Structure 1
């Protein structure tokens, strides 16, 4: 993990409610600079404006080098969006692209609806500022009867590199491992998405609906945890899940070594790790094992782990991962041979 990545996160990611959740796992006090990026309570709206969104995305002309003449010529079919403070080029678009300024879409439209029970829990910039998010949370951490502590939140995200529509989607932060989880929170109708087009806008009613999802997330997530904790997974079923989740090649080589290493890591988490073992023998323990492995131990390529985890949370990768785990596990639990063998 590079020092530069940690420096970026500790300067461009603001984390709130540390009295309730503790510090983020990527936190380094020595890299915070002149101002701490962790807050014991909510992240102040004005700090998000000043520290993260205190610049504009400006449109610039695009020029290309003519291979025949060697001269630069304008490409009128494209425009670039750059940061006004440092000139960083975030993305290239057609003239019909409609930018969604961070302050307007992630602060003004949502911030005006915040109340005493909803505040900013985190906010940040990634990819040089080309991707941004703001997470809206309730002040108190929720603890289920099964001992799972989580914080329901609503991610508001958008981008200036073309990678994301503007979206408001549900998720939850698992306190014991600082993981973002989705479980069954990705059903149709549980997020709002707005394209970057000339007629794009977020109505007040839609904004209120998005914020209401935070409260709904708490009930739905807690109910899903209870259901999964009440679903027994025997040792034989766990072994079958490992076989389905991590296929070990028959031939010796790098692929087989990596697969065996992953199986060993998942088994260690399942049996011994405090973030997983308390729920060993349940479907929730299976989800927690794979989710924790993916966040904290899996090999990361072409991007650094903290940035990968942040991007996965806001782009929907967490939803896809949790759905895949539950789909595989459900299929195995329905198998008669495994049930009888238990």
Structure 2
């Protein structure tokens, strides 16, 4: 990882409740500046505004070089949004685009819904400020009878590059491996999305319901973990799952080599890794192996691993992965009840 990326993470993300979860992997004391980005308890809302969102996305005119004259001409159909502090262009949009300022949509609207049991646990900027998130969490880490420690939270995200609608959804962080997991493992859960259109409106009742899911997620996730830990997966069934999840091409070549490496990495997690092996022989162990490999072992191109993981968390890719893993395993075990309707 480049020093530039590490410097960005230390200055453009805030990590709360470190007394419960420990320091983030990117923590570098020499890059903290005059103020640490780690908080032993909850992160004050005003600190998120001051340290991350204290700038505006300013609209500006777009000019395109004409192929006929070679001179710049104004594009009347598009507008560019740039950061008021750095001048960095965040995205280009048509006339129907409605911006969702981070301070308003990720802080003010969420802060108005917070109660005494919920507080900001993390927040950050990605892609130079084009994507942002705020996580609202319960203070205490929860541990299931099977030894799975997790933190339920509401993830609020939006963007200024057109990649994301403003989204509020319940998710779970698996503490032992710092993985984002689907809150109900095989269900989509309660998600609220607001498009960047002129009719943008956050329905407070829906948002309040999503926020309330943070409390209900604890029971839901605990029940799912128990259910999956009680579903046995033999070594033969594990091999059959690998055959279905990572098909090994018959013809030698790069494809076969890459597939073999992925199968070996998954098996190593399954048999020897403390993040997965304690649940070896169960359906939860299968989900944990695939999820952990996606977070920490899968090849990353075009981005750093932490940025890729953060983006996949906010876009819901890890939710899709968990549901897909269970669907594949259900087919192997011939247990259709493993997958419930979303």
Q: Where on the TM-score scale, by shorter chain, does this alignment land: which range? A: over 0.9
Secondary structure of 1:145 counterpart = coil
1:113–1:186 distance in 2 versus 1, CA, 3 Å: farther
Post-superposition shift, 1:331?
0.7
Write out per-residue CA displacement over residues 88-107 of structure 1, whole angstroms, 9 at most, x where no aligned residue.
10000011100000000000
Q: Which residue of 2 aligns with 1:105?
A: 105
Number of residues of Structure 1 aligned to a counterpart in Structure 2? 336
Post-superposition shift, 1:203?
3.1
Q: Does 1:233 find its partner at 2:238?
A: no
Q: Does 1:137 find its partner at 2:142?
A: no
Which deviates further from its counterpart, 54-63 or 187-196?
187-196
Q: Which residue of 1 aligns with 2:291?
A: 291
Residues in 1 aligned to 2:307 and 2:189: alpha-carbon distance in whole angstroms: 28
Residues in 2 aligned to 1:275 and 1:186: alpha-carbon distance in whole angstroms: 20
Residues in 2 aligned to 1:154 and 1:249: alpha-carbon distance in whole angstroms: 41
Write out per-residue CA displacement over residues 91-140 of structure 1, whole angstroms, 9 at most, x where no aligned residue.
00011100000000000011122222000011011011000010110001
Secondary structure of 1:211 counterpart = helix
Post-superposition shift, 1:302?
1.1
Post-superposition shift, 1:2?
2.2
RMSD of Structure 2 on Structure 1 (CA) = 1.5
Q: Which residue of 2 aligns with 1:26?
A: 26
Unaligned runs of 5+ in 2: 336-342
Residues in 2 aligned to 1:49 and 1:263: alpha-carbon distance in whole angstroms: 44
Which deviates further from its counterpart, 274-283 or 109-118?
109-118
Post-superposition shift, 1:185?
5.3
Q: Which residue of 2 aligns with 1:340?
A: none
Post-superposition shift, 1:189?
6.1
Tell me if the contact between 1:183 and 1:224 (Cα under 8 Å) persists in the aligned partners.
Answer: no
Residues in 2 aligned to 1:27 and 1:222: alpha-carbon distance in whole angstroms: 30
Write out per-residue CA displacement over residues 303-326 of structure 1, whole angstroms, 9 at most, x where no aligned residue.
110000000100010111101111
Residues in 1 aligned to 2:251 and 2:185: alpha-carbon distance in whole angstroms: 39
Q: Which residue of 2 aligns with 1:4?
A: 4
Residues in 1 aligned to 2:183 and 2:137: alpha-carbon distance in whole angstroms: 18
Write out per-residue CA displacement over residues 281-315 of structure 1, whole angstroms, 9 at most, x where no aligned residue.
00001111111111111111111100000001000
Tell me if the contact between 2:59 and 2:79 (Cα under 8 Å) persists in the aligned partners.
Answer: yes
Write out per-residue CA displacement over residues 220-264 of structure 1, whole angstroms, 9 at most, x where no aligned residue.
111111111111000000011111111122222222222111111
Residues in 2 aligned to 1:327 and 1:26: alpha-carbon distance in whole angstroms: 34
Q: Which residue of 2 aligns with 1:125?
A: 125
Post-superposition shift, 1:21?
1.1
Residues in 1 aligned to 2:186 and 2:165: alpha-carbon distance in whole angstroms: 17
Unaligned runs of 5+ in 1: 336-342
Q: Provide the TM-score with structure 1 as the length reference.
A: 0.95
Secondary structure of 1:124 counterpart = strand
Residues in 1 aligned to 2:4 and 2:252: alpha-carbon distance in whole angstroms: 37
Residues in 2 aligned to 1:13 and 1:5: alpha-carbon distance in whole angstroms: 12
Secondary structure of 1:9 counterpart = helix
- The 5-angstrom pairing of residues 32-43 of structure 1 reads 32-43=32-43
- The 5-angstrom pairing of residues 66-81 of structure 1 reads 66-81=66-81
Hey, which bits of structure 1, 4+ residues long, moved more than 6 A? none
1:197–1:64 distance in 2 versus 1, CA, 3 Å: same
Residues in 2 aligned to 1:255 and 1:127: alpha-carbon distance in whole angstroms: 31
1:29–1:86 distance in 2 versus 1, CA, 3 Å: same
1:127–1:186 distance in 2 versus 1, CA, 3 Å: farther
Residues in 2 aligned to 1:198 and 1:185: alpha-carbon distance in whole angstroms: 34
- The 5-angstrom pairing of residues 57-206 of structure 1 reads 57-182=57-182, 184=184, 187=187, 190-206=190-206
Secondary structure of 1:181 counterpart = strand
Secondary structure of 1:63 counterpart = strand
Post-superposition shift, 1:186?
6.7
Q: Which residue of 2 aligns with 1:211?
A: 211
Post-superposition shift, 1:188?
5.5
